[in-house]
């Protein structure tokens, strides 16, 4: 395990029990948690993106703000729903945010997850082409976005421009060199993981995936990662790929931890999501020594190079910093981190 970061869904609620009672609370506390995580020595700050929900949505202002407040930590998403995205405008936003961050963006994108509204992407002005599904449209948007990040000119310049143009066809600006290699695809199946490898994207695999064999979640996820790496090698890409997995992991080191998460960590669960039979990975909550042994038995964690800790952001910055610190101090070294 080379890299450990956190993943926040950015929930907010006016409930008296929530430390994030407004969108402003969530945005500002997300920045503060990224700063705290960097100070603790964590490697990454990642944020979920959901539309029409009391959660984090438009990611690039947040990513740019985190980039301006930090200096080392990776800054990413897990994931941006490409069904909602204009690839041209997204390439501009991503380039600007990456330049502000000094080349630290790690953008997770995907076809999205179950929505709060029916076909929400239509409200954003998008619709599948004839014969396409919404998932196909998301992948098409992703392919356009990836091409734009190469930084190649494609637009015919105006012969009488307001400002002088460089020679040749024009590209999207600002362009951030190297960002193309820091795009990840959030995959819920073996097939889309193989597709991501062929496209030259890194792989994000979360706490659920399509149930393709009936085996435990971590075993299926490890097979997904191996299929991805095989496809990457077959595609002949020059660089080495990166792979992340997400987990809910809590080291029980004080009374607060035991009060919040000490009731046990449970088992994998089976459910149906978007008409797909899915398997949801278990959570981990135990004393550090026991936690280390449990995580060493997780085949997918062993296969991945990056672990993202899903954090309960509504419990506030101070407690979530404690959660991250407890893992970094008491658990991560035994898993090979640093």
Provide φ and ψ at 242, rounded to 5°: -115, 150
Dist. CA 211–CA 214, nearest whole Å: 6
Dist. CA 281–CA 118, nearest whole Å: 27
Q: How many domains does the chain have?
A: 1
pLDDT in tens, 168-188: 999 999 999 999 999 999 999
CATH code, 195: 3.20.20.30
Going by the DSSP 8-state scheme, the letter that residue 335 receives in this structure is G
Q: Residue 175 has what pLDDT? A: 98
pTM passes above 0.75: yes
Q: Residue 68 has what pLDDT? A: 98
Dist. CA 87–CA 92, nearest whole Å: 9
How would you label 84-108 residue by residue, b for 16+ Cβ within 10 Å and e otherwise? bbebeebbbbbbbbbbbbeebbbbb
pLDDT-flagged residues of the chain (< 70): 265
Q: Residue 16 has what pLDDT? A: 93
**Rg of the chain over CA atoms, in angstroms?**
20
Range of the domain at 53: 3-335
Provide φ and ψ at 99, rounded to 5°: -65, -40
Residues contacting residue 289 through CB under 8 Å, at least 6 positions apart: none
pLDDT in tens, 237-296: 999 999 999 999 999 999 999 999 998 768 999 998 888 899 999 999 999 999 999 999
């Amino acid at each position: 395990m080379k890299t450990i970061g956190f993943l926040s869904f950015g929930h907010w609620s006016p409930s008296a029990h929530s430390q994030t009672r407004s969108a402003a609370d969530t945005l500002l506390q997300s920045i503060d948690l990224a700063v705290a995580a960097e100070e603790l020595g964590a490697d990454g700050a990642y944020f979920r993106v959901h539309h029409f929900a009391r959660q984090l949505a438009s990611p690039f202002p947040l990513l740019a703000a985190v980039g301006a407040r930090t200096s080392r930590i990776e800054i990413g998403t897990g994931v941006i729903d490409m069904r909602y995205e204009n690839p041209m405008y997204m390439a501009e936003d991503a380039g600007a945010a990456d330049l502000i961050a000094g080349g630290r963006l790690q953008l997770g994108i995907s076809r999205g997850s179950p929505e709060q509204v029916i076909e929400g992407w239509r409200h954003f002005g998008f619709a599948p082409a004839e014969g396409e599904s919404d998932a196909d449209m998301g992948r098409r948007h992703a392919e356009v976005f990836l091409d734009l990040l190469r930084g190649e000119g494609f637009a015919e310049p105006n012969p009488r421009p307001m400002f002088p143009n460089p020679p040749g066809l024009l590209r999207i600006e600002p362009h951030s060199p190297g960002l193309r290699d820091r795009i990840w695809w959030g995959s819920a199946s073996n097939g889309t993981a193989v597709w991501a490898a062929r496209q030259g994207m890194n792989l994000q695999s979360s706490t659920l995936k399509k149930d393709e064999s009936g085996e435990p979640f971590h075993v299926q996820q490890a097979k997904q990662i191996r299929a991805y790496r095989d496809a990457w090698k077959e595609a002949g890409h020059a660089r080495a790929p990166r792979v992340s997995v997400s987990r809910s992991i809590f080291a029980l080191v004080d009374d607060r931890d035991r009060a919040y998460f000490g009731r046990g960590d449970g088992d994998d669960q089976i459910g149906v999501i978007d008409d797909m039979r899915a398997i949801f990975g278990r959570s981990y909550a135990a004393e550090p020594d026991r936690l280390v042994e449990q995580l060493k038995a997780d085949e997918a964690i062993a296969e991945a190079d990056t672990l993202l800790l899903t954090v309960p952001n509504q419990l506030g910055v101070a407690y979530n910093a404690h959660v991250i610190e407890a893992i970094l101090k008491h658990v991560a070294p035994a898993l090979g981190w640093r």
